[in-house]
Amino acid sequence: MKIAEIYEFLDRLSPFETQETWDNSGLLLGSLEDEVERIYLSLDIDEKLIEKAEENSLFITHHPLIFKGLKDLANEHYPRKFIKDMLAKNLSLISMHTNYDLSHLNAYFVKEILGFENFIQDKFLIYVDLDLSFTELCKHVKFALQVPYLKTSFSGKEKINRIAICTGSGGDLLPLVKADCFLSGDFKYHQAFEAISNDLSLIDLGHFESERCFANSLAKYLQNFPIKVIISVSKNPFQYF
């Protein structure tokens, strides 16, 4: 199957032009005219996935392997080694990042992972009206993510009537949030102070934990492709003790 056919399908599903200006989604390795024999879906690229991948394949990832301009491929530093290893096996790469957050991933996470059926989406923020205590909400999230604990910032307001959700790293959206609690990942120290001063509690979902459903969310749209689509699980760069 030609990459051009796959790219055009993905562009209709989640237009690449809707990505944020700082993003680098799209075809990052390979040519639209290349033929590929299988597709691997993964949140990220790591060493084991490249090692196990068969030649002449296409990776579709959420996070772009190449974000900023590279002036050379002259050493083994990230992401250069990955790029060189992929080129040696004729592995192509398409990334669907903020465009897919906007069109599919945030809503999929809220509905399929957190289990909230009724919600309103406002660009990258999703709002859910609830009638829970902060403690009850934390228990619900821990169960949904299957994690033993959460990092939180509590404003002191136990009653939660509305939550805002953004997968990945949503801290920069804090000034836009109109809710009692904001669920996202990668919150910074001073963002927690800002939130508390605005009577907003935070639940840090974890970047990996909130986006690891990417491959499953996309796979259902590719099931009619005439080539094999393989869901691959990239490693979480963080471990918990």
End-to-end CA gap in the chain: 44
Same domain, 65 and 117: no
In a domain, 241, yes or no: no
d(CA 148, CA 241): 11
Same domain, 116 and 89: no
20-to-27, 93, 101, 113, 208 alpha-carbon distances in Å: 16, 19, 10, 25, 20
Same domain, 123 and 173: yes
Same domain, 197 and 126: yes
Same domain, 125 and 200: yes
pLDDT at 69: 83
In a domain, 113, yes or no: yes
pLDDT tens digits, one per residue of 103-124 = 999 999 999 999 999 999 999 9
In a domain, 195, yes or no: yes
Same domain, 107 and 71: no
pLDDT tens digits, one per residue of 21-64 = 999 999 999 999 999 999 999 999 999 999 999 999 999 999 99
pLDDT at 180: 98
The DSSP code for 236 is: P
- In this structure, are residues 6 and 229 in contact, taking their beta carbons and an 8 Å threshold? no
Same domain, 196 and 132: yes
Q: What is the CATH number of the domain that holds 158?
A: 3.40.1390.30
Q: How many domains does the chain have?
A: 2
pLDDT tens digits, one per residue of 134-170 = 999 999 999 999 999 999 999 999 999 999 999 999 9
Q: Which domain holds residue 105?
A: 101-205
pLDDT at 173: 98
Same domain, 125 and 90: no
Mean of pLDDT over the chain: 96
